Amino acid sequence: MSIKNKVAIVGIGETKVGKLPGRDPITIQAEAIRLALEDAGLTNKDVDCLLAKGLMDEPEFMQSTHLFEYLGMHPKITSCMDAGGASPCLMAMTAASLINAGLCEVAVCVEGENDATFVRRQEGVGMSRVSEESENVYGFIAAPVSYAMAARRHMHEFGTTGEQLAAIAVAMRKHACLNENATMRTPITIEDVMNSRWIAEPLHLLDCCLVSDGGGAFVVTTAERARNLKKRPVYILGAAAQMTHNRISQSPNPTHPGAWDAAPRVYEMAGVGPKDIDVAEIYDCFTITVLEQLEAYRFCGRGEGGRFVEGGRIELGGELPVNTHGGLLSQAHIDGMLHVVEGVRQVRGEGGARQVPNAEIALVTGNGGILSTHTSLILARG
């Protein structure tokens, strides 16, 4: 029944990220898919399942059907999925399950949008209609204000400091400096983060993710088929998910996200523990998001995340390199898709200047809403 070692990721694709004026979601997604299929040594005719993250800025009715038509595909299965930034890992586990059940054989999962250059038709539109009704009216303008409330609780409960959060931003930026396809490539210090303007206190500008155009995709197939393709397969060893709420006021505890429940499950399925993880691509919409997940994944104790990220522990060369691509904080906000792509890249040994030596096992996480949804994968070198 388990998907462990039954499916592999065999192709990855990543478009240029940042500002891509004049492009739109369909061209970005199509490019990401073309690159991923090329990487896999497969074609559109091989694909019998297409999963796409639902569009955020301008949702489109049955969007993935437009996409497969554009790509000349006639899949058995298609759907859009939307669990926010938890979607890429969710798409991977869904594809793995469909493949494992014999319902399809080659699945492509894609995310792509032009969030940076998209021209909004309405100002101040919230994350959802329900959010508009009950949160926008009080000044919830976008995610930072709510994540700031999670950060403040963490500071209140555990004494976490702004400087400790800043260390996370510094690490992500260091890694982005090694990534040619990253938006922010000027090194920063903890002081720079602390001096950057407040967005929603206690989060500074540099504690917050970018807004970006760009997309990514990956191809999943059976372990058997993977062994006959051109690149070394990356097996899915484990997957897990836990959802907790929609609005932060309804979160049972903003310092104890769903990751706490998902972590033991993904480790158990994979048959590994925190000490076995060589590299971690952790969804980083805000610095606090990373800190809470490091605790949830038991890399340190509850409340100890602040101390854990000090002293370069999560930088390349440290005990647990995190977000070797620069993440949402410094590479680009591609909804967590490039965390899956980078995890695959690292385990294959294709990380170039930012390769973690001998990386064999990667943890990849996804998070959506306001710590509302959570997913994770453990990937292993084939």
Q: Which residues from 216-255 bind other proteins, rule CB under 8 A? A: 247-250, 254
Nearest approach in angstroms of CB 169 to other proteins is: 17
Residue 43 or 195 having the CB closest to other proteins: 195
Told to check if 56 binds other proteins by CB under 8 A, we report no
Please name the helix (run of DSSP H) or strand (run of DSSP E) that holds residue 16, with its range, or none: none
Interaction between residue 200 and other proteins (CB under 8 A) = yes
Assign residue 359 a region (left: φ > 0; alpha: ψ between -120 and 50; beta: otherwise). beta
Per CB under 8 A, does 137 bind other proteins? yes
- At its nearest, how many Å lie between other proteins and the CB of residue 84? 18
Closest among 130, 30, 10, 22 to 71, alpha carbons compared: 30
Minimum CB distance to other proteins smaller for 152 or for 175: 152
198 near other proteins (CB under 8 A): yes
87/131 with CB nearer other proteins: 131
Q: How buried is 130 (Cβ within 10 angstroms: 0-12 exposed, 13-18 middle, 19+ buried)? A: exposed
CB of 284 to other proteins, least distance (A): 19
Strand 77-81 relative to strand 203-204, pairing: unpaired
What Cα–Cα distance (Å) separates residue 339 from each residue in 84, 120, 281, 328?
Answer: 14, 27, 5, 9
CA distance 97 to 86: 17
Q: Is 369 helix (H, G, I), strand (E, B) or coil?
A: coil
Is residue 367 a contact partner of residue 285, using CB atoms and an 8 Å limit?
yes
Among 72, 124, 187, 357, binds other proteins (CB under 8 A): 124
Is 141 near other proteins (CB under 8 A)?
Answer: yes
> What is the signed CA dihedral for 174, 178, 182, 186, rounded to 10 degrees?
50
Site string for other proteins, 277-316 (x = CB under 8 A): ----------------------------------------
Question: Considering the rule CB under 8 A, would residue 132 count as an interface residue with other proteins?
Answer: yes
139 contacts other proteins (rule: CB under 8 A): yes
Q: Does residue 148 interact with other proteins by CB under 8 A?
A: yes
Alpha-carbon span 187 to 171, nearest angstrom = 9
Rounded to whole angstroms, the Cα distance separating 160 from 16 reads: 36
144 is an interface residue for other proteins by CB under 8 A: yes
Given candidates 1, 21, 22, 138, which one binds other proteins under the rule CB under 8 A?
A: 138
Binding site for other proteins (CB under 8 A): 123-124, 126, 130, 132-142, 144-146, 148-150, 152-153, 156, 197-203, 247-250, 254
